[in-house]
Amino acid sequence: MKMFASLGFVFAALSLASCVPVQQVSNRNKVLLVSFDGFRWNYDQDVDTPNLDTMAAEGVKAQYMTPAFITITSPCHFTLLTGRYIENHGVIHNMWFNTSTGMRLPYYSTQGVDSWWDNGSLPIWITAQRQGLKTGSIYFPGGKAKYHGEEVNMKLVEPPVFNYSNETNWRSNIDTVIEWFTVNNLDFIALYFGEPDSTGHKYGPESAERKKIIAQVDRTVGYLRQRIRESGLESSLNVIITSDHGMETVLKTNEIHIGAISNFSFKDLQFELLDYGPVGLLLPKEGKLEHVYSLLKDSHPKLHVYKKEELPTRLHYANHSRITPLVLYGDPGYVIHGRYKVQFNKGEHGFDNDAMNMKTIFRAVGPAFKKGLVVKPFESVNVYALLCELLGIVPEPHDGSLETMKPMLPSEFQAALPEMCGEMRKDMSHEDNQPRPQRIAQSS
Ligand SMILES: [Zn+2]
């Protein structure tokens, strides 16, 4: 992967050489990362979205963004925060589980299991704080956990029982974001909304209810941008609006029912994680792997069954000890039922990230972004590199490429630099992956 010296560092270093205006250095840009869970890439195409449209006209919009596989909430959000594929960051499911005891925890409880999250890859909050920045999280997956004993500076955590769609709460969280940027002078905040995911699950992605919640998302984007203008943050705050995955209509015919497959027995399994959308994780008992594999493989035309090491490498969902020896997933629309039928959602995600209905959105606006630009699709592993660049921090090792994201950034940053600094700029651009000197003249 190729790293570039951050703009912040370029300006800082050049100011040492007295060749760029000092004000560029003293005023670090802030970043707000917003996720609207389950916002499919084309949800704005059948609903009036004036605020999202204005944001696109004033900033950058990707045709769509490809999430990581498996396309579920915690794993995909942790890819945004770390720039790593799921097999590399290890948050492989929304549910913590233990294959020895059979224990598993739901999404909400798993948010509080530090060891599930703190497992080798640092989220950007911690990296930024170690480099002198101040950060915040509002409801963002991964924001509750401690990493090497460190946690995000300021946070709001979702209450256990919570109405995801309460617009008053959404506005209150935006007001908190503005306060944290202006009063507490945070540099980076990650803000999470549980919609349109909840509505997409309950009513399906093609429903009138989903269109209604997209209109609410759009009003919220309008409110956010209005509050940014009112608080004087517009010239210093970069806003990215993205999501973790899309949404697919669940098909109710020819369903995949593992318990009904002939000769298959749950007695041959030591552990199973089924009934969670289209993905299943199975650990057969000792000596039973081949037996279970041969029974399940080709048992249903819409079911994919893989030994983990044989999963297509493009999915990046094999190389982690937490991933069980057998991985199952259904074709788009087909969820996997286990012992009993307990899944009744009309919409679901978790499917192959190649499927168009799993693609999601990426929008950005602010002083660092070009205006009115539509960029080609890219993978979500690349967002982390962009966030680090915008914040002027040195990234941890990651799987993304800043080069992919550079077309969004105006070239005049580099072009505007005086001739005499060219040599120094060239030198610094070769410092890929090298630690950089401490930044100077920080604003906070
Ligand atoms: Zn989600």
Q: List pLDDT tens digits, range 27-51.
A: 579 999 999 999 999 999 999 999 9
Count CB neighbours of 381 within 10 A.
26
Mean pLDDT, to the nearest integer, of 168-186? 98
Q: What is the pLDDT of residue 3?
A: 37
Q: How close is the Cα of 136 to the center of ligand 1, in Å?
A: 20
CATH architecture of 2-98+123-247+362-425: 3-Layer(aba) Sandwich (3.40)
Alpha-carbon distance 227 to 233, whole Å? 9
Q: How close is the Cα of 39 to the center of ligand 1, in Å?
A: 8
Residue of 32, 35, 364, 36 lying closest to 188 (CA atoms): 32
* Residue type at 338 in one-letter notation: G
Look up tokens 């499917």; give the residue.
351
Alpha-carbon distance 302 to 306, whole Å? 13
Q: How close is the Cα of 352 to the center of ligand 1, in Å?
A: 14
pLDDT cut 90: percent of the chain above it = 85
Mean pLDDT, to the nearest integer, of 372-396? 98
Q: How close is the Cα of 261 to the center of ligand 1, in Å?
A: 30
Residues with C-beta atoms within 5 A of ion ligand 1? 37-38, 73, 197, 244
Q: What is the pLDDT of residue 125?
A: 98
pLDDT tens per residue across span 233-257: 999 999 999 999 999 999 999 999 9
Alpha-carbon distance 401 to 389, whole Å? 11
Q: How close is the Cα of 252 to the center of ligand 1, in Å?
A: 22
Residue of 378, 364, 358, 356 lying closest to 52 (CA atoms): 364
Look up tokens 């630009």; give the residue.
373
State the Cα angle at 404 between 399 and 405, rounded to 5°: 105
Residue 437 reports pLDDT greater than 60: no
Look up tokens 């503005």; give the residue.
178
Q: How close is the Cα of 190 to the center of ligand 1, in Å?
A: 15
The active-site residue, picked from 73, 79, 99, 404, is 73
Q: What is the pLDDT of residue 412?
A: 56
Residue 195 reports pLDDT greater than 90: yes
Token pair recorded at residue 87? 């097999």
Q: Which residues have a Cβ under 8 Å from the Cβ of 390 and sit 6 or more positions away?
A: 29, 31, 238, 368
CATH topology of domain 256-344: Gyrase A; domain 2 (3.30.1360)
Q: What is the pTM of this model?
A: 0.88
* Structural domain boundaries in the chain: 2-98+123-247+362-425, 256-344
Q: Is 73 a catalytic residue?
A: yes
pLDDT tens per residue across span 63-78: 999 999 999 999 999 9
